[in-house]
Structure 1
Amino acid sequence: MSFKHLFSRSLSLAPGRLHFAAHSHHLWPDVSFEAQQAAWDDAARHADRKWDLVFGQVIPEAQAHVAAELGLPSPDSLVFAPNTHDFLVRLVSAVGRRPVRILSTDGEFHSFRRQAERWEEAGTAVVERIATEPFADFADRFLAAARAGEYDLILISHVFFRTGRVFDRVRELAALSRPEGPWVVVDGYHGFMAQPTDLSAISDRIFYLAGGYKYAMAGEGACFLHAPAGFGPRPEVTGWFAEFGDLEGPPGGVGYRTDAGRFWGATFDVSALYRFNAVRGMLATEGLSTAVVSAHAHGLMSGFTEALSEGRCGVLSQAEVLNPMTGDPARARFLALRHPDAARWRADLLDEGVVADVRDDVIRFGFGLYQDQTDVDGLVRACAALS
């Protein structure tokens, strides 16, 4: 089945390209173009009163979409920002001690990796990182460290960005979470709308970060934080949007909203939320749930994996598949292959109009709605020509 008609603009602007980086920069559907125009029109039409519309309609709609996707009991637990780094900074600022004691892994995305290293340099944080390799016993090792240590914040990816491997014991980790610490923070960027995710049983115990750049197909700028009630009531880093609503605070002091709005920043470009809402509307109209989209992507991944195993992808058969296809639906929407020549392979594929991406010695191929079997066949041919 093909859903290319939903992406006619993106595909027509680069007609010779085979884009297999849906896990990185997902192509934008046609409805997002119309949504971008709507954001401009609303800004021009309403001018100074635009924010009444944004906070009265656009943001509540986006909150409702995220809450429905994740099984959250209330959309009030959600707040938006241009990127997840903003939320990391605000979260750590809400911890009432220095240095902040953090448990994490050596496989987190660059936003956290770089910031954590700088916090360590400055003496702001002490970070313990659990090695993700060997992955067979990683979850046991990580949970043992979480239970044994005294941490203020425990941060881990649901799906690791480099390898596509899944941490499937979030519920056990959430059991450790307390308002007084530790706080459990889940980076859900490679899980959100990549696989069905139900946080209903643990929504009162964890923070959850994700955004629209990848599987939500909304582009950059539509990141969000789910913040459980009672955790981090007064972030030190705070924007003026957090002043609107029901406030609590010391007399004469800085007041904070009592819902997730306590983590609001300041003025930002809301066009990403227009795009996100439009994409969610498109998916609903087409009957495309996350489970349906994942099944489509996994079917294409299976075809590519079969070609790999049969030796039809040339030198790529020499690579180690870090997240092989299994019967478990809780998996990444990309395949990660490790080999010393990964960067060269990616460069050669780009020269032929095939887009993948590389992280160190890992080349990643992402699959999504705008691909069909003819694209996979083209990818296999391009890989077979590598040397």
Structure 2
Amino acid sequence: MTTLDSLRADDNALAPHYSRFRVADRLLLSAHSHQAWPDVAEEGLLEAFADAARDVDEKWTAAFAKADELRAGFRSLLSDPHGEYALGANTHELVIRFLSAIELRSRPRLVTTGGEFHTLRRQLARLEEEGVEVVRVPVDPVPTLAERVAAEVDGTTAAVLVSAVLFETSRLVPGLAHLADVCRAGNVELVVDAYHALGVVPFSLHDLGLTNAWVVGGGYKYLQLGEGNCFLRLPAHAQELRPVVTGWYAEFGALADRQRPDRVAYATGGDRFAGATYDPSSHYRGVRVQRFFAEHGLTPEFLRAVSQHQVGLLAQCFDDLGLSADVVSRDRETPLDRVGGFLSLRSPSAGELRSALAERGVHTDSRGTYLRFGPAPYLSDAQLEAAMATLGKVVAG
């Protein structure tokens, strides 16, 4: 079984399983954006090709079985054994289907935060141009964010859309259970983006008080599933909703309403929010990687321990550099246990620092004034130390 000590070592125990991505030879510190895939991901892609070549159009029986296995993996991550999950290539298409199902005509108000990812930020801005009221609650102070969002919920609010972990700063958003209670009491839909939590922060819906919430997430980041493996978790009352944006896969298993033959029928469960024909190879790859995680004991709790160690090590190495706060700084007030899977540094030259690091072989990324260092379980302590030492050399010129 994989241990933290075996991952800290110069010969990281997981690195050999990522030989195609050459993780032992590269300083890949953009894991919060795109983690390397284990070599077994290729097995999944080859299996998808073999099934298609053998079965041609009959391949969908096997493909749908993979989709069901992928859903089961997501249920396990969210400790949600009976939850219903719609799958999509990305969270945007899933959020669009959700938005098309709620009563925006009678309740044309959406509440969100000023710290949401670009997919939601852009889409809500466009809806605002069409007359939907969008309330953006300032992120800071984060400890009261959920409470301040809840205070904006009123009788004209159709939905609240927030993140569990802020994508720019890596800070965990507390108080989501209170927000969920307020939304449920007002018959307002709550959507929680868990993308930056899954794989680095255990996310039990019951423990978090989010059993009545919608949850979106995917495997492109910490879960190492690659593109095309996103989900929308439906609360029980979702079976009352009829998304306007609906694909023909949402007809599978649907029984026509004999009393309303003029109405479009919907399947039950997660397929109610299904789309249409998709590339199933992503699910094959995703399922094989999920099995790899299980084989190596990469549970949410263990991955959290690894992440906390690695982010803490990066923070300590950064502090040891003694760099001027005018050039680059970090938040030292937020406890480590209130941070997600990456170290967020702030600099007016974040983009330039990212480019200079890349020229020296250190792959990070930046968003505005934030320079983000994202470790991964296949990186050794020595690699993390070398990456941060390179930042010191960049700043020193």
TM-score, normalised by the number of residues in structure 1: 0.92
Q: How does 1:106-121 map to 2 (within 5 A)?
A: 106-121=114-129
| Gap change, CA 1:270 and 1:316, over 3 Å in 2 | farther
In the superposition, relative to structure 1, how do residues 141 and 373 fare at CA in structure 2: closer, same or farther (>3 Å)? Answer: same
SS at match of 2:40: helix
The equivalent position to 2:74 in structure 1, one of 61, 66, 73, is 66
- The equivalent of 2:3 in structure 1 is none
Partner of 1:52: 61
Q: 250-259 or 362-371, which moves further after superposition? A: 250-259
1:150 and 2:156 correspond: yes
The structure 2 residue matched to 1:25, chosen from 28, 34, 37, is: 34
1:80 is aligned with what amino acid? L
Number of the residue aligned with 1:255: 265
Distance, in Å, in 1 between the alignment partners of 2:251 and 2:173 is: 36
The farther-off stretch of 190-199 and 291-300 is: 291-300
Q: How far did residue 152 of structure 1 move?
A: 0.4
| CA deviation vs aligned residue, 1:26-82 (integer Å, no higher than 9, x gap) | 111111111111111111111111111122x2111111111111011315x011000
Alignment pair present for 1:287 and 2:297: yes
Distance 1:222 1:372 in 2: 27
* Corresponding residue number in structure 2 for 1:340: 348
- 1:1-387 matches, cutoff 5 A: 1=6, 2=12, 3-11=14-22, 16-55=25-64, 57-75=65-83, 77-98=84-105, 100-123=108-131, 125-146=132-153, 148=154, 150-178=156-184, 181-200=187-206, 202=209, 204-231=211-238, 233-247=241-255, 249=257, 250-311=260-321, 314=323, 318-322=327-331, 326=335, 328=337, 331-387=339-395
CA distance in 2, matches of 1:358, 1:200: 34
Q: CA deviation at 1:248?
A: 5.8
SS state of the match for residue 21, structure 1? coil
Q: Distance in 1 between the 2:147 and 2:231 partners?
A: 29
Determine helix, strand or coil for the equivalent of 1:152: strand
The change in CA–CA distance for 1:113 and 1:221 in structure 2 (over 3 A counts) is same
C-alpha deviation, 1:179, in angstroms:
9.8
Q: Which residue identity is paired with 1:160?
A: L
Quote the sequence identity (%).
34
Contact 2:220 2:227 in 1 (8 A): yes
Q: 8 Å contact 2:155–2:186 — kept in the other structure?
A: no
Deviations 1:183-232 (A, max 9, x none): 00001110112211101364541100000100110111100000112235
* Alignment-mate amino acid for residue 35 of structure 2: H
Moved more, 17-26 or 92-101: 92-101
Count of aligned pairs between the two proteins? 379
Could you say if the C-alpha distance between residues 236 and 351 of structure 1 is closer, same or farther in structure 2, counting changes exceeding 3 Å? same
The 3-state SS of whatever aligns with 1:96 is coil
Give the secondary structure class of the aligned counterpart of 1:256.
coil
Equivalent AA in structure 1 for residue 127 of structure 2: W
| Residues in 2 aligned to 1:325 and 1:230: alpha-carbon distance in whole angstroms | 36
SS in 2 for 1:385: helix
Alpha-carbon distance between aligned partners in 2 of 1:136 and 1:91, rounded to the nearest angstrom? 28
Which whole-Å CA distance do the structure 2 matches of 1:343 and 1:360 have between them? 7
- C-alpha displacement of 1:290: 1.7
Q: Pick which of 297-306 and 273-282 moved more.
A: 297-306
Provide closer, same or farther for how the CA distance between residues 287 and 324 of structure 1 changes in structure 2, counting only shifts above 3 A: farther
Q: 1:179 to 1:171 in 2, by over 3 A?
A: closer
CA distance, structure 1, for counterparts of residue 289 and residue 25 of structure 2: 25
How far apart, in 2, do the equivalents of 1:171 and 1:323 lie? 26
Q: Secondary structure at the match of 2:366?
A: strand
State the distance in 1 between where 2:124 and 2:384 align.
Answer: 39
CA distance in 2, matches of 1:161, 1:16: 27
Q: Secondary structure at the match of 1:160?
A: coil
Compute the RMSD of aligned alpha carbons: 2.1
Supply the distance in 2 between the matched residues of 1:289 and 1:317 (Cα, whole angstroms). Answer: 39
Contact 1:177 1:206 in 2 (8 A): no
Partners in 1 of 2:296 and 2:332 — Cα distance?
30
Whether the 8 Å contact between 1:248 and 1:258 is mirrored in structure 2 is no
- Change in 2 beyond 3 A, CA 1:44/1:203: farther
The one-letter code of the counterpart of 2:306 is H
3-state SS, counterpart of residue 165 of structure 1: coil
Letter of the aligned partner of 1:30 in structure 2? D
Contact 2:365 2:373 in 1 (8 A): yes
Alpha-carbon separation, structure 2, partners of 1:284 and 1:325: 32
What per-residue deviation string (whole Å, max 9, x for no partner) do you get for residues 67-119 of structure 1? 111011315x0110000000111111101342631000111111111111111
Cα pair 2:150 2:182 within 8 Å, conserved: no
Distance 2:177 2:332 in 1: 22
* Structure 2 unaligned spans of 5+: 1-5, 7-11
Q: Unpaired segments of 5 or more residues in structure 1?
A: none
**Which has the higher mean CA deviation after the structures are superposed, 64-73 or 178-187?**
178-187
Letter matched to residue 176 of structure 1? V
Amino acid at match of 1:107: G
